[in-house]
Structure 1
Amino acid sequence: MVRFPADHMGFPLECGAVLTKLGIRLPAVLFCALLAGVSLGGIAQAEPPSPAPYPADVGDRDADAARPHGHDSPEELAGGLNQQTAKVNIDVRLRLEQDGALTVTERINTPEGTALSKQVPLRVATSDTEDRVYQVRDVTTEGAAEAGVADDALRISSSGGPATVRYTVLGAVANLAGHQEIRWRLASGWDQPVDAVTASVSTPNAPTSPNCLAGPVGSTTQCTRAVLEHTGGLVITQDGLAPGERMDLSVSQPAGTVPANAEFATVATLATAFALTVPSVVALIAVALVLLVGLVLVLRARRRDAAAWQGPAPQVDVLLSDGQRVVFASPDGVLPGQVGTVTDEHVDVVDVTATVIDLAVRNYLWIAETVGADGLADWQLSRRNAPDEQLHEYERAVYEALLPQGTEQVLLSELRARSNPVRLDTVRAALYSDVLRQGWLARDPQATSRRWLWLGGGIAALGVLGALALALTVGHALTGVAVLLLGLGVLLGANLLPARTARGSQLVRQMRGLLDYLHTARATDIPAADREMVFSRALPYAVVLGETSHWLTQLGEVNPSDNGVPGLYWFGGSEGEENLGRFSGHFPAFVAALDGVLAESGHVRSLRPAEESAPAPVAG
């Protein structure tokens, strides 16, 4: 059949004009029009019918069948447009499957020996706080090409010649208001110039609202050509891409066409990193519960411990009858050094000083006032009895610190003048161990404080570092803040939790009763023959509890000769005083001098009760 020119409407007019010149007017025009209609009908009958808009099978043959009538294939388009100049041609075919997966076939045609590669990011920013995440699977290659997924990117490379890469994309379908959007990056990040890109898109329903952008990332330049054909196909062509440029494609489908599979991930910023998330909320709740339980335990322990200091002091019997004599007995058999340590949970200078006086009272040491080589008053400590099994470890440590093996006597001025001060670290450790063994303290306060300090500080530091690391990576930074709060809670709880046990708190109550006795006792309440012994045995407790001045004042007129022996049995004066009035004027000076020597060790606290900061001597 003869084909008429493309302008079929012009043919009847031209034919009619010729016949009119020959004298045939209207019938000639009608005749020519009829002839043109017959020709058009023949052409229509000769062309094949259009294929179905969505082929039933996947493959190159089906894609060819789905190509709109009247258009060449993408390869033919690329070849026709760039037959003379094209060096690198890319053909991309997309097919949206019924399960929402997007199958992609990329044909790469490059001259032999020309290598090129690209990477398609699988995590694309959609806003300052959100990324869209794609997944690529089932990657296969043919020809001189390599492809794979690594570091959140699809990487494809070709070493020249024809090559084909096939893969499946998940995450391309998103539900929007009233429709579905299919989005994928057709071409992205080729490291060499691409002369021509062609693409075709096949979807279950005819694609609508195509939007194809080409050029640098972020640009809004439209692709060279994107045509929706009446048969339901979408054909795209792009006349070249510079290295690093991309082609972004989005088309629409009716709502519910396929299952949506788009995934979005929150970008960790300082604004979002500290937002409440499920992991951070769980961490905060867990830490809050731990801190709450710890707070309850601390408050209970503190309430029990505080009760020992509240209310009226209990009455304690410290004077016991021993046949015809009256003796002093401390509550629970506690020693002066133990009293101070349990009372304030620390080993202080006054605890050691009271222990030295107690050792003299118990006949292990002799204290004497003397005159030093410089003519000034001095104090001498002398051995009276060697340490034995009756002494506690801390008492033995005090004895040996002042009078080491082979030393019979020493002046306080000599102790102060030593190149090495008196070492009391052993005394401190032994005294803590002693009160722990007695059950008055639950732990060594100083060592425990250090351990809790390191533990709490370490947890807090871990929380800070964790919060920073999470804020800069995956978010959930409040989890690190929860750990920080736990560390701070440990530090605070360690300082607030008393070391005293229930037995220790009971001892504190008894010490309040002892203090009340020392503050109210009168010498006349004690038989004259027993006053010196009671005075001497109670004096170390008065020193450690801060009642030295009052105790010396009340018992200053005691005559130590009442027991038949002139002078105190454990203390000697330079003038040989025979009454406690003279002693009470000199004893505070001895206590102050001994405190100074012991404080120089640096291993115990230089702390004395407020009442003893400036004892008032009583003149004899």
Structure 2
Amino acid sequence: MWRVGIARAVAGVAAALLALCAPAAWAQGGATPSADASLPASLPDDGRHRTTNDIRLDLDENGVLHAEESVAFGKEPPEEFVRTFSIREPYDAERSRIYKVDGISAVDGSGREIPVSTDQDGGTLNVRMDTAGRSEAVLRYTVRGAVDPVGGGTELEWTAVGGYSRTVAETTVVVDAAVPPVALSCTAGRARSSIYCTSSDMGGHEAVLARFLQTDMGPQERLHVVVSYPADAIGGEAIIERDWSLQSAFAITPATGTVFGLLLLVPMGVLIALIRIRGRDERTIRTEAAAGDSAPVDSSGAGGDAGGVRFRPPDDVHPGQIGTLIDEQADVVDITATVLDLAVRGHLTIRELPHAHYSATDWRLDQAAGPLDDDLLGYERLLLDALFQDAPQVKLSELGRSGFPDRLAEVREELYRDMVRLKWFANRPNVERNRWTTAGIGITVLGVALTVVLAVMTQWAFTALAVVIAGAAVTVGAQYMPAKTRQGSVVFAHTLGFRRYLLNAGAEDVPPENRVTVFSRYLPYAVIFDNVDRWAAILASASSECAADGLPWYSGPDDWRMQDFADSIRSFVLTLTGVISNTRQFRTLR
């Protein structure tokens, strides 16, 4: 097969033109027609700008194309000639076929080297040759990935011309291999064109070569050739790469789904461990909480008052300790309750200062010697030092502007150390929580980085999301990682019993003569349990029944009465909480 129908028509027209023009030409020059006259003729050209390209492709037994192109520019060569190769073409909906073009070099007609530069633009490779003053250029290169076993044979498929920088009047492609071809085809024109090339044949009656011809190829036009050979005659196979897309990068397949599920077992294991740790508290609460659900008073005459009662909280736990034990954080409420507890116990007094009706209320804290039989805990001593380091008196409004905020950090640290010293926690809760939070953030960052890498390079990015989820789970679960010891769980259960008592108890549980003293001791714990309004009102009522003008630890202006106590103590607690909340150490714990 030498020509397709359209080629035959073109050849017929060319033959007619030759029949008309040949006598005059022969008469003038005495020349005879050459053997090439049988090839389709190009459009007439004056020869000054006529460019042709003869491409020779030698296909070796390993499926590698060794190419040599002879480009003739006519009498006026361009300053630069750009030859474009298609190195990435669609293979199917998700993959592309890759052609590797290597060993690019160029020489002119006399064998001198021509400077060559290359640049890649998406799926094309542009080869730029400096052709100024050169009427001919010979371009050499190799191509891998053009051969692939197809059906019962082997097929060479290659875009022999991916584009020119100028119109080329005639492009011929000859493919030579160790075995003769069995079939061939070609298309030419713009990308995805289905128009057959000008002509194609198998090199005459012997059919040992594959030859293709395309005339008048404009810039951005292509010539695509396909040659079939017998099976196993030539080696090599297509180079296929999966195209990147968000959908393909996060493809959910049986393999990726299985790996994702296995990776999620890690956070599930952490969750189960957390449930078991928290379960110890729950089991202890069921058996021990009743021990704290009673009036926390000792009526054995302790304290020197025969027949009297004395406040004794469960396990002798102080308010700040209770707050830290419950939520495993030394926070604003714990410090506020401790200040109130120190006042109730006689280590400082609170005086509400006179103020106009619409002005803000302020309080003055006065340091007191305190009872000799009331030993201070380490964090309580540090808190008193933080309050009164500069003077034995301090206004609440001035605390934020003094060194008090900076000194609170040590108070918090001592509270955490107290948890370990009392053997309620094996490790300091804040250190344990920070360690797990850091680990969780690290795992999350690692998961995000792994997701990005896998998304760019593979289709396994979905599996890395399990690492991100695991890191997030560890970060959130870090709040629950400080585990109480057996002893800590028992104290915690007693504390919850005490809380239940304070939420439901009434004044009648304590003899009238002891109510002011005992209910005053209840008040700091009520701050921890968010029940301060109720016990402030009960304490004010008990004080009024005793005909007392005030409390030994709290006093107000001249016009202040005990009936105002509930509102006053509520305002004091809120104001002190605000002062502490505005410090850097507690700003994140509001």
Residue 256 of structure 1 and its aligned partner are, at CA, apart by 2.5
Equivalent residue number for residue 247 of structure 1: 223
Equivalent residue number for residue 432 of structure 1: 412
User: Aligned match of 1:226 in 200, 205, 209?
Assistant: 200
Equivalent residue number for residue 588 of structure 2: none
Equivalent residue number for residue 275 of structure 1: 251
SS state at 1:239 partner:
strand
Equivalent residue number for residue 610 of structure 1: none
Over the matched positions of the two proteins, sequence identity in percent amounts to 26
SS state at 1:136 partner:
strand
Instruction: Calculate the TM-score normalised by the size of structure 1.
Output: 0.66
2:230 maps to a residue whose letter is P
Give me the whole-angstrom Cα distance separating, in 2, the residues matched to 1:158 and 1:375: 93
Q: How does 1:100-499 map to 2 (within 5 A)?
A: 100-111=63-74, 113-114=77-78, 115-143=80-108, 144-146=113-115, 151=120, 153=125, 155=127, 157=129, 159=131, 160-228=134-202, 229-232=204-207, 233-276=209-252, 284=260, 287-311=263-287, 313-315=289-291, 319=298, 328-346=311-329, 350-367=333-350, 372=354, 381-385=365-369, 391-392=376-377, 394-396=379-381, 398-399=383-384, 403=388, 405-408=390-393, 415=396, 425-426=405-406, 429-438=409-418, 439=420, 440=424, 452=437, 456=441, 459=444, 463=448, 476-478=460-462, 481-482=465-466, 484-486=468-470, 488-494=472-478, 497=480, 499=482
SS state at 1:339 partner:
helix
Equivalent residue number for residue 53 of structure 2: 90
Kindly tell me the number of residue pairs found equivalent between the two proteins: 517
Q: Give yes or no for contact 1:342–1:500 (8 Å, CA) kept in 2.
A: no
Q: CA-to-partner distance for each residue in 1:49-105, whole Å, 9 max, x for gaps?
A: xxxxxxxxxxxxxxxxxxxxxx9589x969999897473221112222222222222
Q: CA-to-partner distance for each residue in 1:100-139, whole Å, 9 max, x for gaps?
A: 2222222223346434121212112234532110123344
Instruction: Calculate the TM-score normalised by the size of structure 2.
Output: 0.69
2:496 is aligned with 1:512: yes
Q: Choose 204-213 or 481-490, whichever is displaced more.
A: 481-490
Equivalent residue number for residue 28 of structure 2: none
Give me the whole-angstrom Cα distance separating, in 2, the residues matched to 1:282 and 1:135: 36
Unaligned runs of 5+ in 1: 1-70, 577-582, 606-620
Q: Choose 137-146 or 243-252, whichever is displaced more.
A: 137-146
Residue 593 of structure 1 and its aligned partner are, at CA, apart by 3.3
Residue 196 of structure 1 and its aligned partner are, at CA, apart by 1.5
Over aligned residue pairs, what C-alpha RMSD do you find?
5.3
Give me the whole-angstrom Cα distance separating, in 2, the residues matched to 1:575 and 1:472: 72
Give me the whole-angstrom Cα distance separating, in 2, the residues matched to 1:169 and 1:594: 85
Residue 540 of structure 1 and its aligned partner are, at CA, apart by 3.8
Residue 312 of structure 1 and its aligned partner are, at CA, apart by 5.4
Q: Give yes or no for contact 1:421–1:601 (8 Å, CA) kept in 2.
A: no
Q: Rate the CA distance shift 1:128–1:546 in 2: closer, same or farther, 3 A.
A: closer
Q: Rate the CA distance shift 1:185–1:535 in 2: closer, same or farther, 3 A.
A: closer
2:144 maps to a residue whose letter is L
Give me the whole-angstrom Cα distance separating, in 2, the residues matched to 1:601 and 1:446: 25
Q: Rate the CA distance shift 1:446–1:279 in 2: closer, same or farther, 3 A.
A: same
Give me the whole-angstrom Cα distance separating, in 1, the residues matched to 2:90 and 2:507: 91
1:90 maps to a residue whose letter is N
Give me the whole-angstrom Cα distance separating, in 1, the residues matched to 2:343 and 2:578: 22
Q: Give yes or no for contact 1:402–1:422 (8 Å, CA) kept in 2.
A: no
Q: Give yes or no for contact 2:260–2:464 (8 Å, CA) kept in 1.
A: no
Residue 585 of structure 1 and its aligned partner are, at CA, apart by 6.2
SS state at 1:192 partner:
coil
Q: Give yes or no for contact 1:216–1:244 (8 Å, CA) kept in 2.
A: yes
SS state at 2:338 partner:
helix
SS state at 1:213 partner:
strand
SS state at 1:382 partner:
strand
Give me the whole-angstrom Cα distance separating, in 2, the residues matched to 1:260 and 1:490: 50
Equivalent residue number for residue 592 of structure 1: 570
Q: Give yes or no for contact 1:422–1:601 (8 Å, CA) kept in 2.
A: no
Give me the whole-angstrom Cα distance separating, in 1, the residues matched to 2:362 and 2:212: 109
Q: Rate the CA distance shift 1:281–1:147 in 2: closer, same or farther, 3 A.
A: farther
SS state at 1:600 partner:
helix
Residue 306 of structure 1 and its aligned partner are, at CA, apart by 4.0
Query: Highest CA radius of gyration, 1 or 2?
Result: 1
2:98 maps to a residue whose letter is V
2:339 maps to a residue whose letter is V
Give me the whole-angstrom Cα distance separating, in 1, the residues matched to 2:65 and 2:475: 56
Q: CA-to-partner distance for each residue in 1:415-453, whole Å, 9 max, x for gaps?
A: 45x696898745764453233212256566699689949
Give me the whole-angstrom Cα distance separating, in 1, the residues matched to 2:242 and 2:191: 21
Q: Rate the CA distance shift 1:471–1:132 in 2: closer, same or farther, 3 A.
A: same
Q: Choose 523-532 or 501-510, whichever is displaced more.
A: 523-532
